[in-house]
Chain A
């Protein structure tokens, strides 16, 4: 057996080779048994309580006489009538009681005697036609029916899924269990293939052995799946549960062929129902454990639903009708094919392959099933209640279903995916609006992040330093990595919709679409800002080249000192304006105090006046607007000019105090001091007043006598609150 290997030498190629050898070995046995059976070349099918001919081979001894559709009555052999009725074609596991099985075995014994006698046999139909034939003693391989080979393909697929999972995750509990399940299922189904492809009978001893093997194989298959249900992805069953289940299933497997005790209603199927119910309970427990963990939830959805859905489907449509003594709604081959689908679901769940797409798959399959069921239900309703003929009923059902399908689909969508009710198109206007309003790159980035957070509601997000070219899923949809607008970093979002869902490929597509738009908006704005800056620079350069040069020429040409001074002042103001307009960094009060200090110190030194400079208060955090810088620069310049010009001072003192969001500037000078009321107009007082008013502040002129007589200009300028430090 493969699963005994705990050795590292079990590389995938070896495992696959072993699997192929195993398949070939079993197939040799199956073919050996099947080809030994006699051959007539007639396919039979249950029709009501009888069996009907569905196909006659061209090489069949009955080819010329027996027509398709004939309902058979009995076989005459040595004057005895062997009744050919429904139970002949029912599988032993489907038969309800041991008595039914014994009746079947008795009929099979009679048939075996007849077919192996070598004498001509007479087949009698319900219409009384008699067909005499001699069966050929063996079956040729080319005479095996299609279903025999189709089931081989389905079985091999199921087995290989188990083997592939094991090869990639060898010796883990879930992979071992799945491998065990697929092997036991393969064995059970190999037996089933012999049974389903039989013509009239199988030898009774073979029938008994096969029923035992199939029952045991099926029970082992169930036990293997239980071990996954109990332990994967979380351990939900108590410790004794699995041994107990194993014991019960073993008991069932032994009791069924040994007939120690007959289970009522259905000797094989009834005992299975509590197991499936318990599996459903385990699924519920697993589901509870998975709340808040979308990855486990998706795993679970795939694993458990891919088992429980087919299991309940088979119980309701196959087992229940059989147990109630009727005919199964879905046949034996269909039930086996459905069971193979389990392996596909489990392989996906265990390998955690593209789990992020699972929700989408489930939604699609549910919609598909819902649409199909709607047609079936309507068809049954029309036939049952209105007694409509089958053909009209189907047409009507399709029509009505067509009308009902889309509202139903809409309702399903809203119920299953409430969070994504807002499609991308509906989100676009608000998104574009938010993006169009942003002015700076930082603002664009902030709004981009806000949009994503609002749309995806991640449980957690962080900035990861690595740059990525486009949006990506990671850890099976647990995380979504989204590039920042500037493409230098990435946002890592974890747990979609507060960790209730997984991120999926649709999210990737939508986010990438939004990213393209956001980048376009941001680039357009950036280009605009750059154009503005360039235009401003061009204007400033022009101003400098033309106006600056003219003013400079004036300062050199003019002989009148007042005119010269005015031209100089104008040039200085122009220079300040240009300099501030070109600045891109924030204007710090601290830096400008330094500039003012240097300029005033220069002027004081040139005038031979002593400068006393003081600054206090919380200066560092405050920023100025360019207007404030320009106005205060002018204010200081004019006030100093006045002092130097009119007072011939010995000392000029400047004091800057930041207090309660206001900048207080005190400019004092000694020398020829006088009452401000006596100051002549034209000393620039009006300009000083209007400048302070422009800044929303105030100005006062004083004559003070202590400690020494001095004039004082007191200016108050409100500052904007300092920006919050990040």
Chain B
């Protein structure tokens, strides 16, 4: 953990987050960017290992920054920090490649705990988000790649496995990570891994969709590949 990026336009909140990170991860260099433009500028030249990105920014939507940060620092943990935990925004964040989301009004203790969870591969997942993800994957339009046999291998990465589905269903019912693990006879780590995989599939499927869309619109030549 060398450099942490905080994208936040409210100074008090920015300071609070900065203090929190510095306390939690000793020796980390924290950069606070208040706008999208400043963030784009910063990530161009500075690799980051973790980024907390607010959604509502004065010059744009923080969700659009996720892809940009990912491209600049592929190994960075990108976390959407918000006070607005509606499903729509969080699903978009996950599809754009975020590793998780944090509520900015959580207590310091909870915030740090969840942040550590994301960094150690145990991201948060609320029942309503789990329900939305199940919905996303059950809609045939979200699996465009399965239509052609040549994309068979991508279909594995864009549809849920039975185990992943089981985990999501139980989480959607409000069961805790521990309860899910017990019910399915899995370890807590395995359950966490499934959730991570699901997040990744959301991102892959959204990119696959974008690619299919691009092919459809003639932006990408299918002949060449």
Contacts and interface: CB of A to CB of B under 8 A. Distances in A.
Contacts of B173: 594, 597
B84 A597 contact: no
Most chain A C-beta atoms within 10 Å of own C-beta, residue among B10, B12, B15, B175: B12
29 contacts: A551-B83, A551-B105, A552-B10, A552-B13, A553-B10, A553-B13, A555-B105, A556-B13, A556-B16, A571-B105, A572-B105, A575-B84, A575-B85, A579-B86, A582-B86, A591-B128, A594-B128, A594-B172, A595-B128, A595-B174, A596-B174, A597-B127, A598-B126, A598-B174, A598-B176, A601-B176, A602-B110, A606-B107, A606-B110
A582 B87 CA distance: 10
B61 to A, nearest CB: 12
Interface in B101-149: 104-105, 107, 109-110, 126-128, 131
Interface residues of A, number: 29
B56 interface: yes
Contacts of A602: 110
Most chain A beta carbons < 10 A, residue from B16, B84, B126, B172: B84
Interface of B: 10, 12-13, 15-16, 56, 83-86, 88, 104-105, 107, 109-110, 126-128, 131, 172-176
Contacts of A544: 56, 83-84
Contacts of A556: 12-13, 15-16
A12 to B, nearest CB: 49
Nearest to A595: B127
A572 B127 CA distance: 17
B131 A591 contact: yes
B13 A606 contact: no
A6 interface: no
Contacts of B13: 549, 552-553, 556
A705 interface: no
Nearest to B109: A606
A557 B56 CA distance: 20
Contacts of B127: 591, 594-595, 597-598
A616 to B, nearest CB: 14
Consensus secondary structure, chain A interface:
helix
Ranked 5 nearest A-B pairs via Cβ: A597-B174, A594-B174, A594-B127, A556-B16, A553-B12
B16 A597 contact: no
A613 B174 CA distance: 10
B56 to A, nearest CB: 6
Nearest to B113: A606
Interface string A520-558: 000000000000000000000000110011011101110
A102 interface: no
A571 B107 CA distance: 13
A262 interface: no
Contacts of B172: 594
B10 A549 contact: yes
A552 B83 CA distance: 8
Contacts of B85: 575, 579
A483 B83 CA distance: 47
A601 B174 CA distance: 9
Nearest to B86: A579
Nearest to B125: A598
